[in-house]
Amino acid sequence: MKIILAGAGEVGYHLAKQLSNEAHDITVIDIDGENLERVNTSTDVLTIQGSATSITVLKDANISHTDLFIAVTSTEAININCAILAKELGAKRSIARVGNGEYISPEHREMFSKLGIDNLIYPEDLAAHEVVKLIERAGATDVLEFENGLISLIGVKLDKNISILRKPMRELAETLDSFKFRIVAIYRGMRTLVPSGDDILLPNDQIFVITTPEGIDEVIRVTGKADSKMENVMILGGGKIGRKAAKMLESRINIKLIESDKDKTQDLADYLHKSLVIQGDGRDIDLLAQESIIDMDGFIAVTNDAETNIISCLMAKHLGVSKTIALVDNIDYIPLTQTIGLDSLINKKLIAANNISRFIRKSNLVSLATLQGIDAEVFEYIAKPGSKVTRKSVKNLGFPKHAIIGGYVRDGKGYITEGETQIKDYDKVVVFALPGEINKVERYFE
């Protein structure tokens, strides 16, 4: 597939990294030479310096033979403009990143479609939905859903003194054989491991588990998170993400939202009908104490400042809040936050990149996702008739060492793979893999 990316910022950079591993023909356009240099040093793609709103630049990029044009610059107007131009100049499909929530409403989608834009991506809305999922699954650090939730990948941080610690995975599999989940990765000491039968789980490990809807409660229970219930949540930051998350949660959970801007506070008070909106500085520990932070089950920091989000979450954790979620837009901070005690983090740019990737098909690849801060990817494939993955049971496939088949969807139902599982034609299969194994995994599904 020939793909043109307009914008080599964080979203464009991560998309280029993801897609360059999948043997697509990628061209990245950006007006900033430094952004392009970063892309050049990390990926094998063609880069063009210039404006994506230039017809000449688009023609130089061979826009008339492009399967997919993706506009992800930091400026909404540029994205809309160049996506329209790209479609008019011959691109088969176009996607634009926007920052206005009105544009993604159902009544406006047809208008953008008529203009030539096939899909709109609104990162703040995606991030707000991610916050809601993490609150709903209170014991989880990460939640990824496949096939509308028929299969889920859940991340959990292991506490001390739970029963599954220090036991070989082989023994755990025998003990937990009635439970509908499979541990596909362990994150330990800045390293990601795909577990073998001899590996054990240790306190503070972050594990990633593939499960079906029936197995989610069991995952939470055996990992010691059954008591992680969210009834009272404090949100710091009333911007697009905090506002949207509060609106989605306030009918089920008691919400206190802290915003420093006076005018924005008044607007939020009118918009939110059941949440308590407070004007103040969320970094002020006296304010947090006055607003009973010690009674909060969760603390969500989604201001525009990553340092504020990290520091305030650490303060909340110190004061006894069981679940903290921080918005961290600086990619370099992601590995750090996972070592200093934060429970979950969200990065709207990575979320946007993962969401965009689902529009890209390489033969039978349905979707791919990158876990934030984890050096691994999750793939969903359709098993082609006669492909290698369908010829033997899972245990006899000789599957790559640093990859694992976690689950599959067949006839509208999700299943967890076991050693005797036989993948059938047209099953949708979820695979967890370290970066070096991606090309090897692909061969099993060709």
Does 330 reside within a domain? yes
CB 120 within 8 A of CB 104: yes
**Pair 195, 152 in one domain:** yes
Question: How far apart, in whole angstroms, are the C-alpha atoms of residue 180 and residue 219?
Answer: 8
| Backbone φ/ψ region at 385: left (φ over 0), alpha (ψ -120 to 50), beta | beta
Question: How far apart, in whole angstroms, are the C-alpha atoms of residue 47 and residue 310?
Answer: 35
**Element of type H or E holding 246:** helix 240-249
* Alpha-helix residue ranges (DSSP H) falling in 43-115: 55-60, 76-88, 106-115
Burial letters for 347-363: b for 16+ Cβ neighbours within 10 Å, e otherwise?
bbbbbbbbbbbeebeee
Query: Global pTM?
Result: 0.79
Quote the number of domains for the chain. 4
Does 434 reside within a domain? yes
**Pair 360, 436 in one domain:** yes
**Pair 156, 236 in one domain:** no
Confidence (pLDDT) at 69: 96
Tokens at 442, concatenated: 């692909």
CA torsion through residues 219, 223, 224, 227, sign = negative
Confidence (pLDDT) at 336: 67
Tokens at 268, concatenated: 């939020």
**Pair 257, 299 in one domain:** yes
**Pair 193, 265 in one domain:** no
CB 80 within 8 A of CB 16: no
**Pair 338, 358 in one domain:** no
CB 382 within 8 A of CB 409: no
Does 143 reside within a domain? yes
- Helices then strands (H, E): number in the chain? 15, 22
**Pair 106, 41 in one domain:** yes
Does 126 reside within a domain? no
Last-in-domain residue among 121, 139, 160:
121
Confidence (pLDDT) at 385: 92
Last-in-domain residue among 194, 222, 250:
222
**Pair 88, 199 in one domain:** no
How far CA 398 is from CA of 299, 303, 364, 420, in Å, comes to 45, 47, 21, 13
CB 302 within 8 A of CB 291: no
Does 96 reside within a domain? yes
Q: Which range marks the domain in which residue 322 is found?
A: 229-345
**Could you tell me whether strands 276-279 and 254-259 are parallel, antiparallel, or unpaired per DSSP bridges?**
parallel
**Pair 333, 360 in one domain:** no
**Pair 217, 233 in one domain:** no
- What residues have CB less than 8 Å from 282, skipping those under 6 apart? 236, 237, 258, 260, 288, 301, 303, 308, 312
The three-state (H, E, C) secondary structure of 369-433, written as one string: EECCCCCCEEEEEECCCCCHHHCCCHHHCCCCCCEEEEEEEECCEEEECCCCCCCCCCCEEEEEE
Confidence (pLDDT) at 249: 95
446 residues of the chain, pLDDT tens digit each: 899 999 999 889 988 887 877 668 899 999 999 999 999 998 889 999 999 999 999 999 999 999 999 999 999 999 999 999 999 999 999 999 999 988 988 888 889 989 999 999 999 999 999 999 889 887 788 888 888 889 998 888 888 888 888 888 888 877 765 567 888 888 887 788 888 888 899 988 889 999 998 888 888 888 887 766 789 999 999 999 999 999 999 999 999 999 999 999 999 999 999 999 999 988 888 888 889 999 999 999 999 998 899 999 999 988 889 889 999 987 777 766 666 778 888 888 888 888 887 777 555 667 767 776 677 788 889 999 999 999 999 999 999 988 999 999 999 999 999 889 999 999 999 999 887 787 788 889 88
Tokens at 204, concatenated: 């503070």
> What is the residue whose two structure tokens read 């609106």?
247
Q: 282 — phi, psi (to 5°)?
A: -70, -10
CB 304 within 8 A of CB 239: yes
Residue 142: CATH number of its domain: 3.30.70.1450
Confidence (pLDDT) at 10: 87
Last-in-domain residue among 222, 256, 277:
222
Q: Alpha-carbon dihedral of residues 281, 283, 285, 289, nearest 10 degrees?
A: 60
**Pair 243, 341 in one domain:** yes
How far CA 298 is from CA of 135, 235, 305, 316, in Å, comes to 8, 8, 19, 9
- Residues of the chain above pLDDT 90, percent: 50
Does 46 reside within a domain? yes
Tokens at 428, concatenated: 């949708």
pLDDT in tens, 278-328: 999 888 888 888 899 999 999 999 999 988 999 999 999 888 898 899 999
Residue 298: CATH number of its domain: 3.40.50.720
Question: How far apart, in whole angstroms, are the C-alpha atoms of residue 243 and residue 226?
Answer: 28
CB 430 within 8 A of CB 153: yes
**Element of type H or E holding 243:** helix 240-249
Enumerate the β-bridge partners of residue 200: 168
Would you call 178 exposed, middle or buried from its count of C-beta atoms within 10 A (0-12, 13-18, 19+)?
exposed
- What residues have CB less than 8 Å from 289, skipping those under 6 apart? 319
Confidence (pLDDT) at 227: 66
pLDDT in tens, 168-180: 888 887 776 556 7
pLDDT in tens, 347-380: 888 888 888 877 775 556 677 677 766 777 888 8
**Pair 373, 282 in one domain:** no
